[in-house]
Structure 1
């Protein structure tokens, strides 16, 4: 509870109260080890998948990375790939520790690095961005990396073009 309180900058009693509500609603399961209270999402409840999707779209990597990359010039397209995209698409497995992002366009590497670090702070996990030119993205035949990326789930990020000032 203390870790959550620190992360969200709220009191431990607020976290305890909210966790109690989630437990009463059957959305989390808990176990005790001594005086430690271990909390985990109950992924077997019928609403687990829709709630996960809602959170991912509003506060998770899809929303955060789309927003951050919309602020970077020359980003034409962007996708989340790898284990996070696989879990988002419903493939079972462990919760990913990082998020892999593929950016298509001629965006500046330093700007992409800054966007990744900003997203990391908000998401609490490592963000790895790989940039490709439009030509490389469209002519991926024979490239083992791109063939693997294209054969697995991809989550397209919404990139909004911002007007230059």
Structure 2
């Protein structure tokens, strides 16, 4: 019985030492994690700017992780919020909106990005915040009035950026 207690105590001390040692991993070059955290905090700051839409009736949230990410949303709305997060190789977002207070937050991290937003009628507050990080960015915004782009913020980091904004008369 005495040997069983000694073996149990030694085993417990051994496992605790292994668990403690396993928790002391130090990554001196954790830039990838810091990069994602900074992008997420930037998105939170940007999303806070869109919180002026009180009484949101419709919420659409999409989070995609993988190689082929594609999201398509059609919104004819009174007070809507659309949130799309894509992490992967090919990130595509296509939106068709009619607008009466629509707020959009889009985060795309990966290799290829495409964001297309088409407003099919006169809008009353159509706000969009688009953050794209990666090699190929693409943003096409076709709207219904000139003041629409006042509520738009676009951040692109990488190579080969393309931004097309056309405010069309209805």
TM-score normalised by structure 1 residue count: 0.28
TM-score normalised by structure 2 residue count: 0.27
Q: Which has the higher strand share?
A: 2
Q: Which has the higher helix share?
A: 1
